Amino acid sequence: MIWSLLGQAPVSLAYYKSSLSIYKTKPSTPLNRFSSGFPAPISTPAIRVFCSKSGRVGSMASSVQNQGSISYLTQREAAEVDETLMGPLGFSVDQLMELAGLSVATSIAEVYKPSEYNRVLAICGPGNNGGDGLVAARHLYHFGYKPFVCYPKRTQKPLYSGLVTQLESLSIPFLSVNELPMDLSKDFDILVDAMFGFSFHGAPRPPFDELIQKLVNLHNYEQVQQKSPVIVSVDIPSGWHVEEGDVGGEGIKPDMLVSLTAPKLCAKKFSGPHHFLGGRFVPPAIAEKYKLCLPQYPGTSMCVRIGKPPQIDISALRENYISPEFREDQVEADPLDLFRKWFDDAMTAGLKEPNAMALSTTGKDGKPSSRMVLLKGVDKGGFVWYTNYESQKGRELSENPHASLLFYWDGLNRQVRVEGSVQKVSEEESEQYFHSRPRGSQIGAIVSKQSTVVPGRHVLHQQYKELEEKYSNEGLIPKPKHWGGYRLQPNRFEFWQGQTSRLHDRLEYSPQEIDGKRSSSPPWFSQTFQLTSIPLPITCKKSKQINPED
Ligand SMILES: NC(=O)C1=CN([C@@H]2O[C@H](COP(=O)(O)OP(=O)(O)OC[C@H]3O[C@@H](n4cnc5c(N)ncnc54)[C@H](OP(=O)(O)O)[C@@H]3O)[C@@H](O)[C@H]2O)[C@@H](O)CC1
Ligand SMILES: Cc1cc2nc3c(=O)[nH]c(=O)nc-3n(C[C@H](O)[C@H](O)[C@H](O)COP(=O)(O)O)c2cc1C
Ligand SMILES: Cc1ncc(COP(=O)(O)O)c(C=O)c1O
Ligand SMILES: [K+]
């Protein structure tokens, strides 16, 4: 199929026409554009790199290496950055280690879910790299993993004995080298290599030589091995030369490397699938001084993926949902109460925009279309959202006033479907809501001829600017006639709670039939909804619950 391309402008929902040359120079279908443009998993944001303003010229310029705009440090530079952080910049080693260990744990959690990779062995060395491993083990415990620790050369400093006490208080087992099984593959899902960091030199001495060999023997990610645990190296794959990498080619081949502060030169030789950066504490002064180019961390995350994105086998992407059972006898009589309860759960879980819902409509041609909108109110009258009445959805709703809403609350493994008939809300209600919005959004609603093609972004920006000036005096911005709300009055609900092996819980509410007639008098919510087929007072059915592919 040949596709023509319409770009979507950022400020409003109008479109702009892109030039045909863009299309010609990138002869791709939307599908392969998607897969080449967004190759990383959903949790992985695009990498944005920030650099010190002055570029890479300076005292360290000769040795700070750059690959794909990211700086790599030599061993000496790594130690110097460490000293600067803990000297003039006022950090304590405890602080940095805590943040480093947390970064390691969050990186692991991004890739290896505790439901599949639960048993973690942290092998900790005598220095700060080992300390990072101890901290990571504690955080992993709190994230739902089952950690074990092998810490054969303990350091007697209070920081380390404190970390050990903290782990012991969580009943995390400490295993001596002798207690480790010959074959680590049967007992662990993740092996955290926290033996040596950037101060490693020479050849590994006992007992670490033996421990490193255990990891080498066990695992080679290039060989497809069933049931082999993954190796996560902290900062440096232990045994590798800090700058040259795995010189003899016989060292550890980690699946994941979590570089700390900035990757060291050896990280260039890392060819495993997951390279992360942690240590979100580098102040601009350090970045400037050492001419560091580092990626930005997304949102509030303690880690960011760097390096080449992993090759994804889309067909292998799946989650096994593990949730509390959702039973007929636990539900509310009124589906609206259950919706509110689940909505509160989504809020409490800190999910982003739990009010985002997919709205599906069909016009008279019967062809469905879906898009996200924001729920702006829910009560006995129904579910309310606001939009442009002249948009595609507006046109379709005028032709066919029935729609479906879909909420998906990732993290809670929950989905809610709501179907019903749709009406515009009153002008007064729309007015009231319109004026509660930020002024920028009010102007945006005037500017945006939603779902129409516009000549370019500049047109929208120009109109926006003009209106911004026009309404700069804080006066009322008039609501355009074509903008307002819709209310969907439900006639069907389905609450879905994901469960293991695809045997999900699905409960459906539909209006009760009274004397063989479906009650249709609004408001629906004064009626008893029935969960089809189980007797009074509420009747329930788990629809299609046991179809494994639902
Ligand atoms: N800002 C930062 O940069 C931050 C850094 N952080 C972390 O600190 C790490 C660097 O820590 P570090 O300096 O303590 O060094 P590290 O490599 O853990 O161990 C040194 C120990 O290993 C020993 N040892 C050395 N070679 C050996 C051999 N061949 N065989 C056997 N033993 C050997 C050496 O003994 P020695 O040879 O000196 O007698 C010493 O006891 C860094 O990579 C990162 O993980 C974060 O926590 C916070 C932010
Ligand atoms: C999370 C999210 C929330 C959105 N909320 C709204 C909204 O409340 N109202 C709206 O008109 N468009 C909203 N949009 C934009 C719509 O998805 C859509 O692009 C736009 O309304 C045009 O749709 P149409 O051409 O199918 O009518 C939202 C988009 C996203 C991703
Ligand atoms: C075009 C459009 N209209 C309306 C909304 C809802 O915005 P608000 O929360 O300001 O009403 C959104 C939200 O993304 C939107 O993109
Ligand atoms: K390491």
Name the residue with higher pLDDT: 512 or 206. Answer: 206
Closest alpha carbon to 59 in 39, 74, 45: 74
pLDDT at 82 over 90: yes
pLDDT at 221 over 70: no
pLDDT in tens, 165-207: 999 999 999 999 999 998 899 999 999 999 999 999 999 999 9
Between CA 245 and CA 224 the distance in angstroms is: 23
- Alpha carbon nearest to ligand 2 atom 5, residue: 373
- Asked if residue 212 lies in contact with residue 88, where contact means CB atoms within 8 angstroms, the answer is no
Between CA 101 and CA 106 the distance in angstroms is: 9
Burial class (CB in 10 A: 0-12, 13-18, 19+), 28: middle
Ligand 2 closest atom vs CA 353: 1
Between CA 23 and CA 424 the distance in angstroms is: 39
User: Residue 383 C-alpha to ligand 2 middle, in angstroms?
Assistant: 16
pLDDT class for 78, splitting at 50, 70, 90? Answer: very high
Beta strand segments in 425-520, E: 453-454, 483-497, 505-511, 513-514, 517-518
At residue 511, the pLDDT reads 82
pLDDT in tens, 423-435: 999 999 999 999 9
pLDDT in tens, 469-481: 999 988 899 999 9
pLDDT class for 60, splitting at 50, 70, 90? Answer: very low
Total-model pTM: 0.71
- Alpha carbon nearest to ligand 2 atom 10, residue: 387
Residue type, 235: D
**What ipTM was reported for this prediction?**
0.78
Residue type, 330: Q
Rounded mean pLDDT, 491-520: 84
pLDDT at 108 over 70: yes
User: Residue 445 C-alpha to ligand 3 middle, in angstroms?
Assistant: 9
Between CA 494 and CA 415 the distance in angstroms is: 8
- Asked if residue 369 lies in contact with residue 395, where contact means CB atoms within 8 angstroms, the answer is no
User: Residue 417 C-alpha to ligand 3 middle, in angstroms?
Assistant: 21
- Alpha carbon nearest to ligand 3 atom 2, residue: 387
User: Residue 201 C-alpha to ligand 1 middle, in angstroms?
Assistant: 9
User: How do beta strands 70-72 and 65-67 pair?
Assistant: antiparallel
- Asked if residue 361 lies in contact with residue 368, where contact means CB atoms within 8 angstroms, the answer is yes
pLDDT in tens, 314-354: 998 888 898 998 988 878 989 999 999 999 999 999 999 99
Annotated active-site residue 502? The verdict is yes
13 CB within 6 A, ligand 3: yes
- Mean pLDDT for all residues in the chain: 84
Please list every protein residue whose CB sits less than 6 Å from any atom of ligand 2: 13, 353, 356, 369, 371-374, 385-388, 391-393, 450-451
Q: What percent of the chain has pLDDT over 90?
A: 69
Pick from 60-74, 183-197, 210-224: least confident: 60-74
Which ligand is the nearest neighbour of the Cα of 256?
4
pLDDT at 1 over 90: no
Pick from 12-16, 201-205, 250-254: least confident: 12-16
